[in-house]
């Protein structure tokens, strides 16, 4: 992997990742950009203890531009984008409209106040462009490019984790308008949080309870149980297993675990890294074959999804295990699972598809 760092016109960092050194990278951002506006703060919900990010300045962010004005495509023919180069393999840059940023303002509250606890929204948000091809998707990448994305995620996890105040690094991809994606170009994001996210905090609590009750690690036991009862297994390799969780929240939800428990991407071995691209691409392609279009031919329609890397936080994460959670909000062809009153209001999920049925369907659409 070759890593080249440069700056955009407003001072934000841009990093190119490529494998052969032939892609043009050392280009200058010619846009007349003002410094990005960062007004974020984080406030603690006194009823739950969860941190909520307030980022009102993001209302002005780019929203569903036409393809010829995409800010993630390479710059060309006098049109300048967030990527100054005329081509690239993988590019990562600081978000122009970040939820969290190093220079976020002091909110003027006391962090320890039991009712009005708040802090500056210090952290970092990055955009990861998987390919220069606007019309592609992650599933269209070959294994070499998928591996390069994995290497970029790993690089950013290592660097962002070392920033002062960063507690957890979260790499993820939202795909599809149904998910709420505002830029159609294939890309993901990385958040460097100054706090442990609520879902991770709940996992940490459950892992501690399991350790106290059994003396064993929750995630190791969970993976062993899925290997013993393979009804929910979707695919498996020498180093990774993908399965539908026993209590899946979403209609089609798959968790991909390395067989060896590690806290984050930086701890994977070369063998684990080498096997990941093929398995992950197969999962994404199966998701795209879940809902064939109606009529003659029955061709597959792109499935909206969220792919989320769960990594241990900087403190208190000794019992947690790196894994990827992949799920879609589509429950049937032409039908979405909306978060209704019990889900949105009480965080009590109701799943319309049995996890065993979802796993069987995902095995049926194998390549």
> Using N-to-C axis directions, what is the helix angle for 143-161 and 270-288, rounded to 10°?
120
Label residue 173 left, alpha or beta by phi (over 0 means left) and psi (-120 to 50 means alpha): beta
- What distance in Å separates the CA atoms of residue 229 and residue 90, rounded to the nearest whole number? 39
pLDDT (0 to 100) of residue 295: 47
pLDDT (0 to 100) of residue 61: 84
Question: What are the backbone dihedrals phi and psi of residue 350, each rounded to the nearest 5 degrees, phi first?
Answer: -125, 120
Instruction: Of 137, 150, 131, 130, give the one whose Cα is nearest residue 258.
Output: 150
239 included as an active-site residue: no
Q: Identical fold at 2-194 and 200-364? A: yes
- What distance in Å separates the CA atoms of residue 355 and residue 247, rounded to the nearest whole number? 7
Q: Apex CA 120: angle with CA 72 and CA 180, to 5°?
A: 35
Catalytic residue among 187, 210, 255, 310: 187
pLDDT (0 to 100) of residue 36: 81
Cα-based distances in Å from 216 to 208, 226, 334, 353: 10, 16, 43, 31
Return the CATH architecture of domain 2-194.
2-Layer Sandwich (3.30)
Contact 70, 134 (CB under 8 A): yes
pLDDT (0 to 100) of residue 299: 58
In which residue are the tokens 């984008």 written?
81
Cα-based distances in Å from 344 to 173, 339, 341: 21, 5, 5
pLDDT (0 to 100) of residue 296: 44
Burial class (CB in 10 A: 0-12, 13-18, 19+), 86: middle
Going residue by residue through the chain, which has 367 residues, state the pLDDT in tens, using 9 for 90 and above.
Answer: 999 999 999 999 999 999 987 776 768 999 999 888 788 999 999 999 999 999 988 887 888 899 999 999 999 988 999 999 999 999 999 999 999 999 887 888 888 899 999 999 999 999 999 999 999 999 999 999 999 999 999 999 999 999 999 999 999 999 999 999 999 999 999 999 999 999 999 999 999 999 999 999 999 999 999 999 999 999 999 999 999 999 999 999 999 999 999 999 999 999 999 999 999 999 999 999 999 875 445 556 789 999 999 999 999 999 999 999 999 999 999 999 999 999 999 999 999 999 999 999 999 999 8
Both tokens assigned to 43: 């406030």
pLDDT (0 to 100) of residue 39: 80
One of 1.10.300.10, 3.10.20.30, 1.10.260.40, 3.30.428.10 is the CATH number of 200-364, namely: 3.30.428.10
CA 202 from centroid of its chain's CA atoms: 19
Contact 82, 183 (CB under 8 A): no
pLDDT (0 to 100) of residue 22: 73
CB atoms within 10 A of CB 11: 10
List the chain domain ranges: 2-194, 200-364
CB atoms within 10 A of CB 293: 12
């Amino acid at each position: 992997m070759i890593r080249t760092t440069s700056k955009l016109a407003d001072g934000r960092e841009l990093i190119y990742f490529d494998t052969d050194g032939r892609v043009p990278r050392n280009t200058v951002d010619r846009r007349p950009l003002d410094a990005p506006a960062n007004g974020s703060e984080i406030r603690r919900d006194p009823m739950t203890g969860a941190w909520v990010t307030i980022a009102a300045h993001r209302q002005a962010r780019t929203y569903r531009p036409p393809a010829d004005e995409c800010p993630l495509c390479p710059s060309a023919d006098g049109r300048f984008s967030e990527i100054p180069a005329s081509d690239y393999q993988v590019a990562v840059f600081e978000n122009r409209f970040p939820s969290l940023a190093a220079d976020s303002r002091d909110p003027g509250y006391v962090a320890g106040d039991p009712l009005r606890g708040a802090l500056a929204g210090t952290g970092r948000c990055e955009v990861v462009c998987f390919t220069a091809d606007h019309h592609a998707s992650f599933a269209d990448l070959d294994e070499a490019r998928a591996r390069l994305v994995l290497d970029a995620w790993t690089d950013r996890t290592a660097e962002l984790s070392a920033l002062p105040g960063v507690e957890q690094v979260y790499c993820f991809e939202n795909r599809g308008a149904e998910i709420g994606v505002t830029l159609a170009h294939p890309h993901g994001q990385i958040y460097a949080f100054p706090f442990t996210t609520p879902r991770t905090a709940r996992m940490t609590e459950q892992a501690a309870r399991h350790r106290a009750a059994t003396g064993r690690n929750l995630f190791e036991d969970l993976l062993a149980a899925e290997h013993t009862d393979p009804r929910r297994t979707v695919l498996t390799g020498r180093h990774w297993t993908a399965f539908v969780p026993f209590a899946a929240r979403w209609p089609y939800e798959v968790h991909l675990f390395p067989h060896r428990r590690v806290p984050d991407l930086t701890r994977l071995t070369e063998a684990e890294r080498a096997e990941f691209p093929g398995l992950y691409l197969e999962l994404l392609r199966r998701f795209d074959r879940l809902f064939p279009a109606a009529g003659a031919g029955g061709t597959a329609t792109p499935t909206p999804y969220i792919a989320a890397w769960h990594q241990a936080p900087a403190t208190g994460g000794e019992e947690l295990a790196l894994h990827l959670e992949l799920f879609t909000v589509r429950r049937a062809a032409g039908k979405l699972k909306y978060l209704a009153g019990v889900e949105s209001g009480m965080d009590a999920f109701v799943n319309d598809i049995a996890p065993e049925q979802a796993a069987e369907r995902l095995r049926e659409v194998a390549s």
